[in-house]
């Protein structure tokens, strides 16, 4: 192999080429990427609840003096400061983070006050950053309080020309107050927002009783408090487990009320929707449900929202109970949503981990204690420096005549003052910088008063730093002051003037027990129909009974596959060769005026998968499921019902697929294989299961299971020949054997297709 030609004067190839296995190189680089994603992008810090980009936005705004009292500045200016000084990434990602901090429907306590179009709950995006302006909210100043008093550590920025904080002082538990979400490499986080006042009350409880349990904390923090309100219907036991482990979920529903419209009619008005649900998407979803006839009880939907949310839902009939209507819509639409909870955060050492609510609050309190002690030491250093100067000034006042003489007649007064009175450079400079007007008697008294006050403050700080109890007491006092401040901050969504932390926006309730399915069925007119399914999968429903199937017309090359009598109120079950059951409402099937519609458009069924059986659901009935491999079991028909378009996997099969799905009607069961051998055994040997593979029914050297028959021993076995005639089988007992046996060849005269019934 020829060596690469290097430019003149350059290093040899050994300095430019690293010889290492590709797997090691990829692993090392991917690990570096993963760690960067986890620590610097996706997961928030448990102490201030912020990701680096949000922390940098707030710190940059603080440096720009964009306080609540100041005038707002262009967001483009803020984004430029953040990108140029702290966050070397795309300007759009920075602006998106800034916008979220200002959205009152995203943040429980907004940290940025935006002026201009910052998006809305419909899902519309914010205006470009050159059109919008921003400044910090009062809550943001609470997170930054003490940042200039050595409250936290700083690190060099990406270019080494400046410094940025590792974490903000965080005056309130922002992690749980505003929540967070993010996806890292191999892990994710999803934290719902909470009521800040309730969180501070829980912190006060932990300060009084560090052994308080999660259940005790839930007395103070009953659950999330979403900025868009809503009704939380998650059971308390589930919430307790979620907050104990840090993982779980919260079900939240839209808040609604009934409005009478006269003459016995009414309409439903939705005033609050679940968190992170776009209102426009919700309206579109409800309209689609009406068009597709999936929401049988809903007649119309209108969006009459202005500043407040107002979605109007009209029932299809005034006889529909409003609770039944809403329960049906909660099942079908985003009027009910589940917010996943995964409190995956970075601890004080930067290590990711899942925490329960107690761990998260304890980590926050430990951070507040550290901030308190660091600010106290910073203040102590300032006091010591000031006392040092005051001590020098007091010496000057006690020896005023000598000090004046030295200053007036000595060539080097500073050195003489230091030599005469034992002063330091700082004290001598302070004396020399003193103006004549400050030599008055009143000024001396003011210095003595300041000196006494500082000595008292210093002693108090030293006593506090020496006592853990006093430190925790001051942490609690500070949180109480922050709580009072938060109570005064008005949330932008509170049109009635409710304070941010005073009243929770979300409420808690138990989901009512309503049989919405029964109510929907009650709305359907019950009449007999005949379901026609062709071999190519076109389905339709004809009214009444079809006496002569030969008169049915199909597309060219197609013919009748299944002819099923049913009623409009029935649920149609379709069993496929891959072991799945699908459920269709008979009232939703296309009419028989045409050729119908492809059933594969209604359910997720691959073209290669065959339909084995079609029948209407009947409660209390049982079915025998079996695969071509010869395995099967008994299943209650209720287990076949599925609301999903993808169906429900019930029978475990291999590539050969399912063999049959028979109604269990007797105490004996007969099976026949492709080899023509029949085996009969008691039905009680079949296990009853909701799903699975089942037990071995018959053994085969070649081929597999072809057909089965369930019957009563009293009436005897039978088969139906190819001409459709019933043939009684008197000698069937000779074929009785043990389940999983090989069986005996079928009797003479048995159907040539080796089936008990024509397929």
Q: Which residues are catalytic?
A: 131
What the block records as the tokens of 737 is 């054997």
> Do the Cβ atoms of 743 and 735 come closer than 8 Å?
yes
Phi and psi dihedrals of 37, rounded to 5? -65, -45
Give exposure, 241-267, as e/b (b: 16+ Cβ within 10 Å): ebbbebbbbbbbbbbbeeeeeeeeebb
Q: Which residue has the tokens 């776009």?
A: 278
What the block records as the tokens of 745 is 């060849």
CB under 8 Å to 617, separation ≥6 — which residues? 570, 571, 572, 573, 583, 637, 640, 641
Strands (E), 402-558: 507-508, 528-534, 538-543
Pairing label, strands 231-232, 507-508: parallel
> Do the Cβ atoms of 179 and 192 come closer than 8 Å?
yes
Phi and psi dihedrals of 743, rounded to 5? 85, -175
Burial (CB < 10 A; 0-12, 13-18, 19+), residue 632, is buried
Would you give the DSSP letter of residue 651? B
* CA distance linking residue 744 with residue 678, whole number of Å: 5
What the block records as the tokens of 56 is 């940098």
* CA distance linking residue 751 with residue 140, whole number of Å: 84
What the block records as the tokens of 276 is 């992170």
* CA distance linking residue 593 with residue 77, whole number of Å: 66
Q: What is the DSSP string of 199-229?
A: HHHHHHHHHH-TT--HHHHHHH--S---TT-
Would you give the DSSP letter of residue 427? H
Indicate the helix (H) or strand (E) that contains 180. strand 180-183
* CA distance linking residue 111 with residue 67, whole number of Å: 11
Phi and psi dihedrals of 668, rounded to 5? -125, 150
* CA distance linking residue 441 with residue 754, whole number of Å: 124
* CA distance linking residue 146 with residue 374, whole number of Å: 10
Closest CA to 46 of 341, 332, 351, 478: 351
Would you give the DSSP letter of residue 422? -
Number of H helices, E strands in the chain: 19, 35
């Amino acid at each position: 192999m020829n060596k690469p030609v290097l430019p003149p004067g350059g290093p040899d190839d050994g300095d430019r080429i690293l010889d290492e296995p590709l797997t090691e190189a990829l692993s090392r680089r991917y690990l570096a990427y993963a760690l960067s994603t986890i620590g610097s992008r996706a997961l928030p810090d448990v102490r201030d609840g912020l990701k680096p980009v949000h922390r940098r936005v707030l710190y940059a705004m603080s440096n720009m003096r964009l306080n609540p009292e100041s005038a707002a500045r262009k967001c483009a200016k803020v984004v430029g400061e953040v990108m140029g000084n702290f966050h070397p990434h795309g300007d759009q990602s920075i602006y998106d983070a800034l916008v979220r901090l200002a959205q009152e429907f995203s943040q429980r306590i907004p940290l940025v006050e935006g002026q201009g179009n910052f998006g809305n709950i419909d899902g519309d995006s914010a205006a470009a950053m050159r059109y919008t302006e921003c400044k910090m909210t009062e809550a943001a100043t609470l997170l930054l309080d003490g940042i200039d008093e050595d409250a936290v550590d700083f690190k060099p920025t990406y270019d080494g020309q400046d410094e940025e904080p590792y974490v903000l002082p965080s005056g309130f538990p922002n992690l749980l107050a505003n929540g967070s979400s993010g996806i890292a490499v191999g892990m994710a986080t999803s934290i719902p927002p909470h009521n800040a006042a309730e969180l501070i009350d829980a912190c006060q409880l932990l300060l009084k009783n560090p052994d308080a349990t999660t259940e005790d904390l839930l007395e103070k923090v009953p659950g999330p408090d979403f900025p868009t309100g809503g009704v939380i219907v998650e059971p308390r036991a589930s919430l307790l487990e979620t907050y104990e482990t840090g993982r779980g979920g919260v079900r939240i529903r839209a808040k609604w009320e009934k409005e009478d419209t006269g003459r016995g009619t009414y309409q439903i008005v939705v005033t609050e929707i679940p968190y992170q649900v776009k209102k426009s998407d919700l309206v579109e979803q409800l309209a689609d449900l009406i068009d597709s006839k999936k929401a049988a009880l809903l007649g119309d939907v209108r969006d009459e929202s202005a500043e407040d949310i107002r979605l109007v839902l009209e029932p299809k009939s005034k006889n529909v109970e409003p609770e039944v209507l809403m329960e049906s819509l909660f099942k079908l639409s985003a009027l009910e949503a589940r917010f996943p909870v995964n409190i995956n955060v970075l601890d004080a050492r930067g290590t990711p981990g899942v925490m329960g609510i107690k761990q998260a609050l304890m980590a926050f309190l430990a951070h507040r204690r550290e901030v308190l002690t660091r600010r106290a030491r910073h203040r102590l250093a300032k006091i010591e420096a000031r006392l040092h100067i005051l001590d020098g000034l007091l010496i000057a006042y006690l020896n005023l005549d000598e000090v004046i003489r030295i200053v007036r007649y000595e060539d080097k007064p500073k050195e003489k003052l230091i030599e005469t009175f034992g002063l330091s450079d700082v004290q001598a400079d302070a004396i020399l910088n003193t103006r004549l007007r400050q030599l008055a008697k009143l000024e001396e008294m003011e210095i003595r008063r300041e000196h006494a006050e500082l000595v008292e403050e210093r002693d108090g700080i030293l006593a506090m730093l020496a006592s853990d109890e006093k430190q925790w007491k001051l942490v609690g006092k500070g949180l109480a002051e922050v709580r009072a401040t938060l109570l005064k901050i008005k949330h932008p969504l509170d049109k009635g003037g409710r304070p941010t932390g005073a009243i929770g926006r979300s409420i808690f309730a138990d989901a009512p027990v309503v049989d919405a399915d029964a109510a929907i069925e009650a709305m359907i007119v019950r009449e007999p129909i005949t379901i026609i399914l062709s071999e190519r999968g076109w389905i339709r429903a004809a009214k009444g009974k079809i006496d002569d199937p030969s008169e049915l017309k199909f597309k060219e090359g197609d013919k009748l596959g299944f002819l099923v009598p049913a009623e409009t109120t029935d649920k149609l079950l379709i069993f496929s060769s891959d072991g799945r059951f699908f459920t269709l409402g008979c009232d939703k099937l296309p009419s028989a005026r045409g050729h119908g519609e492809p059933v594969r458009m209604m359910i997720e069924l691959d073209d290669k998968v065959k339909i084995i059986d079609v029948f209407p659901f009947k409660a209390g009935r049982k079915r025998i499921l079996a695969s071509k491999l010869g395995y099967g079991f008994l299943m209650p028909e209720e287990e076949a019902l599925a609301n999903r378009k993808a169906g429900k996997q019930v029978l475990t099969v291999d590539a050969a697929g399912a063999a049959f799905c028979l109604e269990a009607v007797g105490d004996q069961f007969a099976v026949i294989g492709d080899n023509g051998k029949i085996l009969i055994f008691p039905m009680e040997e079949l296990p009853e299961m909701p799903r699975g593979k089942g037990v071995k029914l018959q053994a085969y050297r070649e081929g597999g299971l072809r057909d089965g028959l369930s019957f009563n021993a009293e009436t005897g076995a039978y088969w139906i020949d190819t001409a459709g005639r019933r043939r009684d089988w008197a000698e069937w007992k000779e074929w009785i054997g043990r389940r999983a046996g090989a069986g005996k060849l079928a009797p003479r005269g048995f159907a040539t297709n080796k089936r008990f019934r024509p397929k």
